[in-house]
Amino acid sequence: MVRQTQTEDPMATQAQKLRDLFNSGEHFIAADAYSALTARIVERVGFKAAYLGGHACSAFHYAVPDNGIFSQVEQIEQASRIAAAIEIPLIADADTLGETVADAFHFSRRYARAGIAGIHVEDEVNPKHSTYSNGLASIGDMQARLEASVKGRGDSDLVIIARCDELYPDAYRGGGTGSLEEAIKRGRAYIEAGADALVFPLASPEATAELGAALSKPLVVLGAPIPGTACTLHTGWGMLGAAKLHLERAKELFETGQVTADLSFPEKNDLIEQGLYDELIADWAKKTGRPTR
């Protein structure tokens, strides 16, 4: 289990809330949130957690791929804005946490201080998910990365999820060989180094069941929910949908001079707390004798 914290505390940090979700034993989905506004949307819909994927962030905010050139400084910049806009916990894709153990310590501390609830740290070698056939970091190097991350979070409750890409093969631009035996070996080593939970991208339901039986920490899934796991990180659909829609409307505007789509969005004012700020300004104007509309 994830390290226990107090439950039902109205003053609980987002990280404490995330630990409580893991400890509840109920599967939850951390939904795609690549901006402050989309995070508030998934919160208002009812999701108990939000997720900032690396590719969603790098593509949407910086127009670059997520293959090692996208830095943790850039990811933390966006993650901190998102976490500040919501009450539910945010899990962020922390890639490799940089290139050295000093990076891993430094960035973990920054994530914790920025109010991020959880991060996942992967064992790929940069540049990753690219034309370079990279392989995975050695078990010893990944353990050192995780140990530095644990030190970096200090006394905070930041949840550290170890991402093992052993089941993410070269054919899909991953660094793994596809060995379930090696994935289990790595999972045990990552737990020993201090990981609170584990995620194995592209693991089948059958492989996930074997991993769950062999490992003592909660399993997290990227993609569709799998029975027996603690959490699903679901990303891509929001960012891709928004970009695709923007492209379609931009083409229409360029070709016809107008956008014919229904642009009404009555929920917008509530999502950006328009009423709250209007009331604050009206109260100030009234108290100071200024005119109002």
User: Which residues form the catalytic set?
Assistant: 66
Report CA torsion sign: 18, 20, 23, 29.
Answer: negative
d(CA 178, CA 170): 9
Cis peptide before 127 (omega within 30 of 0): yes
Q: Cβ distance 133 to 89 under 8 Å?
A: no
Residue 124's SS3 state is strand
Distance CA(231)–CA(94), nearest Å, equals 17
CB 175 within 8 Å of CB 124: yes
Kindly report the number of other CB atoms within 10 A of residue 80's CB atom. Answer: 19
Name the CA radius of gyration of the chain, rounded.
21
Tell me the three state secondary structure of residue 31.
Answer: strand
Q: Work out the angle at residue 207's Cα, subtended by the Cα atoms of residues 128 and 133, and round it to the nearest 5 degrees.
A: 20
Q: How far apart are the first and last CA of the chain?
A: 56
Distance CA 91, CA 94 (A): 9
Judge whether 36 and 82 are in contact, CB under 8 Å: yes
Which of 95, 62, 56, 59 shows the shortest CA–CA distance to 175? 95
Phi and psi angles of residue 51, each rounded to the nearest 5 degrees, phi first = -135, 130
